[in-house]
Structure formats: C-alpha cells, structure tokens
Structure 1
Amino acid sequence: MWSGVWNGLTLHVRHLTEQDLPAIESVQRAVIDELTESAHYQALTTGEFQKLLADRTIIGAYRDEDLIAFRALLIPPIDAEHLGRDIGYPEHSLERIIYQEVTNVHPSFRGYRLQQHLGHLLMEAFSQDVRFDLVCATVAPFNIPSLKDKFALGLRIGALKPKYGGKWRYIFMRELHTGWHGDGLVTSVEMADTARQVRLLQDGWYGTGMREIDGTWYIDYEKQA
C-alpha cells in the first residue's frame, strides 16, 4: 500500500489481516496503559477488530517487525443512529456510507503525525473503492485534536445534533469520488454557540474549518460554491 520514510521513520503501511490481530491488540493495550483515565477510552473488542479485518477496512504501519499504529473505517449497521440520516442523505443510499472509526498510535511513536498520515492513506484507498460514496464521522465540540484531524482529511461539518443519549456531536462528511468546494464567503461562529451553528447548518451552510482567536475557538462556515 505504501512504503517509505515518514518524519524520519521507515515504514511499511498495508491492509491488516487476521494474522495481525495480536499486534493490533498489543498496540491498543499500550495506548490504554498510558492513559490517566482509561474509562474515557472506548476500547474495541476482539470481535470488533475481527469485523474490521474481515471487511478490509483497517490499515497499519509497521516499523521493521513491529506494528506501531493502525487506523480503520467501519461499515456501519443501518440503524436508528445512522449518520446518513443526520445529514439528510437518501435512505436508499445509506449502505454506501462508511464511518471513520478507531486510530491508535503506540505511545513510543507519538509526535510523528502518524494518525494524519494513515488517515490520508486510508481516504486515498477508499476513494478507489466502488462500494462507498461518503465517509462520515462524529466529533464532540471542543475535542480539538479530533476536530483538527477531520478537517485535515478534507471532511466538513454537515450537522450538529444530540447523539448517543443527548450528547451534542458534529456530524462530519466527505464525498469519496467527487469534490466539494465552498464559496469562500466565510462566517465564523464561536464553537460554544450551538444554536447559531444549528441554524446555519439547517440553512445549507457547512463547517469547513476552525480557528482560535484570543483563546476562543471558532468554526468557519461556508455554503457550496
């Protein structure tokens, strides 16, 4: 899939298989062990990893013989919480949506921007996959690292709604086979101003970026060109 030098690391990135499962779970354990409050981390089960492996939606970066990072997309069930419904996607096309799922980087290799590198490789791979047309993801407001990651991968905010028991979440989206361009007429809204963001999104605006001004975070909104 990809081999080369990334920020000084010589890596081989490929789709992972069932044989990689012990290494995958080892990386996840290392990530959990480094957390101060592991309850805030949603660990995947062996069965969940096996589904990602069977669907060929998980890639990993090997350094020599060691797996040091992995990132995955998820083929979701068509259920009541499906993100496609949140952005008004046609019901008959929900099966053509895939989700951003988990990313783990071994604690010894933080700071190399491996999450972003794997994200770009994964998006590039699935832009050639005829099974899917759209990638979606949810991010909590003020989860700054995750918001930056989604914008860096070309996703935009298509909705802001209560999810998962009433918690507010941005619904991100990106077409896999066609481009999207904003009109360049940017309206910036404080991230804390939920009501105004909801109104803009309902009126056909999209969140296309973020910025920090004097310690306050803003989301940039545009309409389609």
Structure 2
Amino acid sequence: MRYEMRFLDWSHLQDVVKLQEIVIHNLSDKEIFRTHPPKYFLEHFKMENSIIGVFTNDGLIAYSVLYFPGDRKDSFGIDIGLERDELDKVVHLATVAVHPAYRGNSLQKQMQGIHLDTAMQLGYEHACCMVSPKNRASLQNIFSHGLNIKALKLKFDKRRRYILHRHLLSPRLDCHEEFRIRSSDLDAQIGLLNMGYLGFRMVEMPAGFSISYGRSCN
C-alpha cells in the first residue's frame, strides 16, 4: 500500500470529521469508539504536530491525536495517581481512527510511535492512553509501545476504560508473578489493580483473549 503520513492542520477538519463518521458507522460495537465534535479537533489543531494523518489516493484514511492535558481535570495522570507537579509532563495518546478498508496495516501503531517520539522531543515524561476493554486491536497496539494498564475506571459516558501509562524516560517495565485474567472478567482485573498489579501483556486464547497482570520488578 502506498501512503503518505504527515501532520495535519485546520484545513483538514472536514476530512477528519468525515472519516470519524465512516468509522463509527461501520463499527458493530459503537461503545468502543468515542466520537468528538469539530471543535475538539480545532482545539488540537492549535498545537503544532498534535494530529497525524495518513493519505492514499482515496484521501485521508487514518488519523491520530496527541493531547496535552496539563493539570486539567481530564488528565489521566490523575487517574493513575501522579503527583500534581507531574501533571504538566503528561501527554495523552488520544483518539485514533482508521478507515475500515485500511485496517491491518499497522497504521495506528506507526502514528502513535511518531507521537511518542514527538512527546519525548518536547520534554514530556508520561504517556497515557484510554482504551476500551473490548478494543482488542487498539489494546495490542498500545502494549507494543510499552504502556501498561494502571487503572480500570468508569470514564466518559460512564463506560469502563483501561488507563494505560508509560514513563518515557525509564526502561520498559519488567513484570513477574504473572496472573492471566480473561479480558471479560473486569472485576478480577480491578481487584489486581487495587493490589498494585499492572497489566502488561495481551495473550490470545481460542475464544477471546486474556490480560497478563504482574508486579513491576524494575
């Protein structure tokens, strides 16, 4: 597949909104994807290199948003218990959308890798992300970048979401004392998180998948 990946600006707003509509229309479980109004994207366009887009001859076929929450109440740094003076060092790997016809090309993984590099170049230290427990593909991509599940909470629209985190200046966490919990058993996962465990890997199963939880030994 031939494509071009580049940072977007406000002139791409209609393309982004149109792609968002295509993605949500084609999802069998619309609960896993959170839509946003045009003003959400306009706010992010104000920050240089905040939105990456992927183009083919068909136009815009994917985008990824990097969000800088600062000390606002929607910072996932609060959800994982970061100190207040650390919140200005947090970035969110936020909304990602890939056209249904172009899934399976690792576009989400590539875009988020660029955004992590951008965050480190700008001096940020904490990368966070919110993922639905049902969103198998996104969860696998986030794990591949070294983020770990630190919390499982009711978030926007009162939906359960994983909050994942990685300290960008530290080595990737090495976990031991592994427990594998079926992805659908959210109560068991919350229990382990409350005991200080973190989710660090997704394991495929004949029917569904499980999440490996362990304690950091770094």
Range class of TM-score, shorter chain:
0.7 to 0.9
Residue 112 in structure 1 maps to residue 105 in structure 2: yes
Per the TM alignment, residue 70 of structure 1 is displaced from its structure 2 partner at its CA by 1.1
Q: What corresponds to 2:80 in structure 1? A: 87
Match of 1:58 among 26, 51, 63: 51
Alignment of 1:1-225 (within 5 A): 9-35=1-27, 41-56=33-48, 57-63=50-56, 66-76=59-69, 78-130=71-123, 132-164=124-156, 166-215=158-207, 217-225=209-217
- State the secondary structure of the residue aligned to 2:140: helix
Deviations 1:46-67 (A, max 9, x none): 2111111111311112235832
Change (3 A) 1:64 1:218: closer
Count of aligned residue pairs for this structure pair: 216
| Separation of aligned partners in 2, 1:108 and 1:165 | 28
Asked whether the equivalents of residues 67 and 92 of structure 2 are also in contact (C-alpha less than 8 Å), the reply is yes
In structure 1, runs of 5+ residues without a counterpart are 1-8
| Separation of aligned partners in 2, 1:88 and 1:109 | 37
Change (3 A) 1:164 1:21: closer
The two structures have a TM-score, normalised by structure 1, of: 0.81
Deviations 1:8-43 (A, max 9, x none): x23322211122223323323433454467787533
Amino acid at match of 1:118: M
Give the stretch that moved more between structures: 94-103 or 211-220.
211-220
- State the superposition RMSD in angstroms: 2.7
Give the stretch that moved more between structures: 150-159 or 194-203.
194-203
Deviations 1:94-146 (A, max 9, x none): 1221212111223342332322222222222222221x211112223233223
Change (3 A) 1:11 1:91: same
| Separation of aligned partners in 1, 2:34 and 2:24 | 9
Asked whether the equivalents of residues 180 and 224 of structure 1 are also in contact (C-alpha less than 8 Å), the reply is no
Amino acid at match of 1:199: G
- State the secondary structure of the residue aligned to 1:44: coil
The two structures have a TM-score, normalised by structure 2, of: 0.83
Give the stretch that moved more between structures: 150-159 or 76-85.
76-85
| Separation of aligned partners in 2, 1:165 and 1:65 | 33
| Separation of aligned partners in 2, 1:162 and 1:32 | 21
Asked whether the equivalents of residues 146 and 172 of structure 2 are also in contact (C-alpha less than 8 Å), the reply is no
Asked whether the equivalents of residues 175 and 200 of structure 2 are also in contact (C-alpha less than 8 Å), the reply is no
Asked whether the equivalents of residues 19 and 61 of structure 2 are also in contact (C-alpha less than 8 Å), the reply is yes
| Separation of aligned partners in 1, 2:212 and 2:91 | 25
